């Protein structure tokens, strides 16, 4: 099937603007922080938990429109997608690397102090 129309409607875009700014750390993932349904999502949840920062998770498996719209909103094709202070930080690989080299801690500390 060919889909030409964009999933990211103006309404969805303004909703997403609010959601990513509703918490300092927002993770769009497969499953929830208590029941991750994918290894990549689980990895990012475990990293965030280890940082002792509050974070919100949103299950993209429950909403196909949200899932498609987010790919356009972030210009990022896969999940999980991590937002820090309203800004797209990265997916699983980027979060893992930033965690290992200390950059994630820096960004989170800065976010928590702002």
Partner 1 sequence: MGVTKEKVESSLEAKLNPSHIEVVDTSGGCGASFVVEIVSEQFEGKRLLERHRMVNAALEEEMKEIHALSIKKAVTPEQWKQQQESNLSNSAA
Strand locations in 1-114, DSSP E?
A: 25-29, 56-59, 81-84, 87-90
Please tell me whether residue 17 binds partner 1 under the rule CB under 8 A. Answer: no
Q: Which stretch binds partner 1 (CB under 8 A): 7-15, 54-62, 74-82, 104-112?
A: 74-82
Residues 98, 99, 104, 108: which binds partner 1 (CB under 8 A)? 98
CA–CA separation, 47 and 95 (whole Å):
8
Query: In this chain, which of 36, 69, 80, 90 binds partner 1, going by CB under 8 A?
Result: 90
- CA–CA gap between residue 46 and residue 42 (Å, rounded): 6
Question: Closer to partner 1 at the Cβ: 14 or 37?
Answer: 37
d(CA 91, CA 95): 6
Binding residues (CB under 8 A) for partner 1: these are: 40, 75-78, 88-94, 97-98
């Amino acid at each position: 099937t060919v889909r030409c129309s964009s999933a990211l409607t103006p309404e969805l875009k303004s909703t997403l603007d609010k959601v990513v700014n509703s918490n300092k750390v927002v993770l769009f993932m497969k499953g929830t922080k208590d029941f991750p349904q994918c290894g990549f999502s689980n990895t990012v949840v475990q990293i965030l938990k280890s940082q002792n920062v509050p974070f919100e998770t949103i299950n993209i498996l429950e909403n196909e429109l949200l899932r498609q719209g987010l790919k356009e909103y972030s210009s990022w094709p896969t999940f999980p997608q991590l937002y820090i202070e309203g800004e797209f930080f990265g997916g699983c690989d980027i979060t893992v690397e930033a965690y290992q080299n200390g950059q994630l801690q820096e960004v989170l500390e800065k976010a928590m102090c702002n």
